[in-house]
Chains A and B, each alone.
Chain A
Amino acid sequence: MGRSDMKSLCNGNMLGWGALILAFALVPVLMTSQYQLNVACNVLIWALFATSFNMLWGVTGMLSFGQALYYGVGGYAIGLTVTYLGSQWYFAAFAAGLLFTLVLSFLLGLLVIRVGGVYYTMLTLAFGQLAWQIMFKLYDFTGGDDGLQGITLPGLLANKVYYYYFVMILVLLAVWVLKRMAYSPFGLILRGVRQNPNRVRFLGRRVRRNQLRVYIVASLFATVAGALMAGVDGSVHTDMFFWTTSGEVILMSVLGGISHFFGPFCGAVVIILIEDIVGAHTEYWSLLIGSIIMVMVIGFPRGLVGGALDVAAKVRATLQGAKHDDTTLTAGLGK
């Protein structure tokens, strides 16, 4: 890659991040209702959750059906702490949730990565459901099916607009960190683990060790997402642990495109907005959402981002004649 290419790539990067920050920063200015702010928070948080999940699946090839577990841990770390100890413990709860996930994902990770492929997926699902059962059964402590309500946030965070910006900054920071990771040597070896684990061993690297590392990383960021969700409408619910929550991030990733870093992010934005718009107008919303998503997946088999890049490449190719340029069209995250 030449110097000028490198420079234009960096500029493109800066431009992209600038646009992203600006777009989300303007939300509270343009949309003043509390409801709209909540939707925007949902968009951001699910985008982070889906992006972290895709480090496992799209990047490393580990299809987990149990990331809801760590998302739930984040939510309940905040919910339980604030409910029982008060909102002054909010930030400590955040840290405690992360610490809990660090230990839990390390221990469960040791177990689940021993088995490969579909067994891994099943095992992650089983642990997720187990956690859901436990939260469900411990009614006196966790509120069971009713969840926990009235979670108040400390200081400025109690203000909805401030809380939105808090969520925005944390989510964009986290996504930025994950992106750095995806394009770093660590990200490269994770992609190697997906594409050819045997060769990775023959680079003198341990496949399982790297799978464990990314499992912990993805779980920590899922916990951040869950913790942020607890503050959006001041409540948490056992649904956070339920398998459909894990399923939803898989859906977002497929829809947006798992081979692109921002695919799951875009998938999350689209799904949350569709749910919001369609859900407001018809009671058959789940049916409608299903159909819309099915059409999108069939129309863009490489995801919305993959499809958009294909279209962009075609347009550029016709504009430039036959001179081809494949810098935006890499299948992996390899650029």
Chain B
Amino acid sequence: MTPLLQLDSVNKAFGGLKVTQHLSFSVFPGEIAAIIGPNGAGKTTLFNQITGHLLPDSGRILFKGEDLVGLTTQAIVKKGLGRAFQVASIFPEETVLDNIRLAALANLDHTRRFWRPSAEHRQATEAAVAILASLGLEEQGGRLAFELSHGDQKLLDIGIALALQPTLLLLDEPTAGMSPEERQRTRRLIGEIRREYDLTLVFIEHDMDMVFDIAHTVRVLQQGALLAEGTPAEIQSNEEVVKAYLGEEL
């Protein structure tokens, strides 16, 4: 099987600060891959390189066998890469439904249409309503996005990404700042949407219960370098990882 996402010796430094060091790993279709590591380890920066916000200094990032390095974010998104952000990236003054409807319209390439009201675009609206239902946000559809709870805003961010029908979804700390109940719900939801939308997932997470519960594979980053890689069981029993990172968490 060929990997869906393949990092090949990616390097990035901000001045003297090395944030990505010789990073190589592969994610296969259907995989749920977790990336863990202490604050400032370079996890978000890695996502930023994959999605074209930042240019790596060297190395290749292959998606479906094609090198993404140098492509614009727009081009990368169109190849089927979706992303939800560490701080929910939503349209605060629009309704929850319109947030997802806009993404669905973009996905259908309908955002140049300037005559019929967006609410009357049936295909996009149906797609948006279906996503709201999968996220359990159907009751919130008419509210303005900024009025949602922090946890629901994170879900909405995922919903926007889903509307673009990605094959690979990058989630940056999906449960950060959530209450324990919201975490439970989100963990369950992420499993469900992966199955429903047939996704490959790469997620960054500090909540180890979530990591060891749903991930198939785990990568540990430290100062931009890969400290360890393996199944959750292997990572949990890796002495180096326990010493460097998990020790403080567990």
- Interface set of A (CB-CB < 8 Å, partner B): 1, 180-181, 183-189, 191-192, 195-196, 198-199, 201-206, 210, 213, 326, 330-332, 334
Contact across chains for B114 and A181 when beta carbons are under 8 A apart: yes
Q: B118: CB under 8 A from chain A?
A: yes
Q: Tell whether, in the assembled complex, residue B114 and residue A187 are in contact, meaning their CB atoms are under 8 Å apart.
A: yes
Instruction: Report yes or no: A189 in contact with B111, Cβ–Cβ below 8 A.
Output: yes
With A188-B98, A192-B102 known to touch, is A334 a contact of B144 (CB < 8 Å)? yes
In this complex, the interface size class of chain B, counting residues with CB under 8 Å from chain A, is: 35 or more
Is B204 an interface residue, CB under 8 A from the partner?
A: no
Please, which residues of chain B bring their CB within 8 A of the CB of A202?
51, 73, 77, 83, 89, 161
Let me know if A185 and B160 touch, CB within 8 A. Answer: no
**Looking at B94, B114, B124, which has the most chain A CB atoms within 10 Å of its CB?**
B114
Minimal beta-carbon separation of A197 from chain B (angstroms): 10
* Most B CB within 10 A of own CB, among A189, A198, A206, A210: A189
In Å, the complex CA distance between A189 and B83 comes to 18
Asked whether, in the complex, the Cβ of B73 is within 8 Å of the Cβ of A201, the reply is yes
Assess the B106–A180 pair: CB atoms within 8 A. Answer: no
| Contacting residues, chain B, for A192 (C-beta < 8 A) | 91, 94, 102
Asked, given contacts A188-B105, A192-B102, A199-B90, whether A205 binds B114 with beta carbons under 8 Å apart, the answer is no
Give every chain B residue within 8 A of A185 (Cβ-Cβ): 102, 105, 110-114, 118, 121, 124
- Contact of A1 with B119 in the complex, beta carbons under 8 Å: yes
Give complex CA distance A204, B74 in Å.
Answer: 4
Residues B162-202 near A (CB distance < 8 A): 164
Q: Are A188 and B118 in contact (CB under 8 A)?
A: yes
- B-side interface residues toward A, CB under 8 Å? 51, 72-75, 77-78, 83, 89-95, 98, 101-103, 105-107, 110-119, 121, 124, 142, 144, 160-161, 164
Q: Which of A188, A195, A326: most chain B Cβ within 10 A?
A: A188
Q: In the complex, how many angstroms separate the beta carbon of B71 from the nearest chain A beta carbon?
A: 12
Q: Are B102 and A206 in contact (CB under 8 A)?
A: no
Q: Contact: A332 with B118, CB < 8 Å?
A: no
What are 27 pairs between A and B in contact, CB < 8 Å? A1-B119, A180-B114, A184-B113, A184-B114, A184-B116, A184-B118, A185-B111, A185-B114, A185-B121, A186-B113, A188-B102, A192-B94, A195-B92, A196-B90, A201-B77, A202-B89, A202-B161, A203-B107, A204-B74, A204-B77, A205-B106, A330-B93, A330-B95, A332-B93, A332-B144, A334-B95, A334-B144
A334 touches B94 (CB 8 A): yes
- Rounded to whole angstroms, the CA-CA distance of A334 and B105 in the bound complex is 15
A-B pairs with lowest CB-CB distance, top 6? A203-B106, A186-B114, A204-B77, A332-B93, A189-B111, A185-B105
Residue in A closest to B141 when the chains form the complex, CB atoms: A1
Task: Give the distance in Å from the alpha carbon of A202 to the alpha carbon of B113 in the complex.
Answer: 19
Contact B91–A191 (Cβ < 8 Å): yes
Once bound together, how far apart are the Cα atoms of A205 and B91, in whole Å? 15
Name B94's contact: one of A191, A201, A210, A213 (CB within 8 Å): A191
Inter-subunit contact B93/A191 (CB<8 Å): yes
Contacts of B74 in A (CB 8 A): 201, 204-206
